[in-house]
Amino acid sequence: MAPAAWLWVLAVGFGGEHGSSSAAIIGGEPCGSDRHPSATAVVAEVELGQDVTQAFACSGVLVAPDVVLTAAHCLDPRSIFGLAREDVDGFGLWVSQAPELPPEGLPRDAVRARAFTPHPDFDLGELEGVQGLVALHDVGLVFLADVVEVEPALVIAPEEAPLLREGAGTEIVGWGQRERPSLASAALVGKRACASSFVQALGASEMQVGRCGARKCWGDSGGPTFVSLVGPGGEVARLIGVSSHTIGDGYCARGGVDTRVDVERAWIDATMRAACLDGRRIHCGPAPGLATPDPLGEALALDGVADPEGLTCPAVEDAVVVVHDPSPTTPPAGCHAVGGEPSGLLLGLLGAVGAVRERRMRRRTSRDRCARPIMFS
């Protein structure tokens, strides 16, 4: 078996044709597991013959000791490796809470996934050219082979969700890129980062998080967004979203888009319960579904509400903007590669995966040309 290699893709959707899947925290700072300890990194593994390749894929968040919530597109090898299921001999996932992922192999704390499932209404093709806030159902669950000994995140309760509003202060966590794409390098990914941001726009199924300053971008798909609620007993954190895609072609200049987890709560809860009945889960107990937060009382209020219109942000044109060009030599919207050429790491990967990968590459469309280091979203 060939040694595992890291492909530094800031995964999230496939390069280009499937829109700009969100991720990474621009303007964030390194942070330890003491800050929102339920956040996780997601590592993907693909088998091609005797070769095994591992890649940092996405971020996620524990919603039970043995269940990670992430984006549905993070569970598809097309998003991570540009390979369809039928083109690989095996595809699996691992999760880690290591603050810095190693350049090769798995982190020491990595926990293997027993099973994973995307939302049944998610369609990867619908990420293509997505604009604004829509309803993609871009959520999925990863069921672990062992429990993670940290306190899971609490999804915002139905009675609390009406408090969500534009301008609400948030905390975002991810292992992705921490600078604007034009300054990206492999050294800036795979490291846990946190930042304070805000809800810029609130839709029926999705919300735009950030617009300037700290915001989401590539490498953090599936990563959590938290809000603080204040009640008589003090301040508590609630999970309100997981990253899905960017908004438009401004290379994260207008922030990222999260799937609202309060809207998907019923599916998450039902799927967790079903996984206890069919053996996909190892830790169920008397309450196999989502934990229900303790009532906070009548004094419940959001902490950190701001006026998004009062913020001064640079024009989108000042950011790295994708220009749509039908030329076959121009990568489609949503792609970005450092220096415009594959790195030695990627070339090594191509040699490792052998003839199957080479045949796949020859069949690639312009969509697949995004498969370069520091890429898709």
Give pLDDT tens digits for 232-243. 778 899 999 999
Q: Give a yes or no: residue 277 inside a domain.
A: yes
Q: Give a yes or no: residue 196 inside a domain.
A: yes
> What is the chain's Cα-based Rg?
19
Q: Does residue 271 sit in helix, strand or coil? A: helix
State the average pLDDT over residues 286-309. 78
**Domain that residue 119 falls in:** 25-318
* 311: confidence class by pLDDT, cuts 50, 70, 90: low
Which residues lie closer than 8 Å to 32 by C-beta, 6 or more apart?
A: 99, 192
**Of 134 and 13, the one with more pLDDT:** 134
pLDDT at residue 10, as a whole number: 30
pLDDT digits (tens, 9 = 90+) for 44-55: 999 999 999 998
Q: Give a yes or no: residue 371 inside a domain.
A: no
As beta bridge partners, residue 215 has 26
State the average pLDDT over residues 186-194. 72
Tell whether the model's pLDDT for residue 321 goes beyond 60.
no
Q: What single-letter amino acid sits at 250? A: G
Q: Give a yes or no: residue 370 inside a domain.
A: no
Q: Give a yes or no: residue 373 inside a domain.
A: no
Q: Give a yes or no: residue 305 inside a domain.
A: yes
Looking at residue 280, which CATH number applies to its domain?
Answer: 2.40.10.120
pLDDT at residue 177, as a whole number: 63
29-30/193-202 β-pairing = antiparallel
Domain count, the chain: 1
pTM: 0.78
pLDDT at residue 370, as a whole number: 27
Q: What is the DSSP letter of 28?
A: -
pLDDT at residue 1, as a whole number: 37
pLDDT digits (tens, 9 = 90+) for 123-175: 999 987 788 899 999 999 999 999 999 999 999 999 999 999 999 999 999 88
Q: Give a yes or no: residue 338 inside a domain.
A: no
**Of 70 and 183, the one with more pLDDT:** 70
pLDDT digits (tens, 9 = 90+) for 61-93: 999 999 999 999 999 999 888 899 899 999 999
Residue with tokens 């992922």: 101
Q: Give a yes or no: residue 351 inside a domain.
A: no
Tell whether the model's pLDDT for residue 94 goes beyond 50.
yes
Backbone angles phi, psi at 91, to 5 degrees: -145, 130
Nearest-angstrom CA–CA distance, 118 and 367: 22
58, with CB counted inside 10 A (0-12, 13-18, 19+), is buried
| Continuous H helices in 165-252 | none
* 249: confidence class by pLDDT, cuts 50, 70, 90: low
State the average pLDDT over residues 317-336. 28
Nearest to 269 by CA among 28, 63, 8, 4: 63
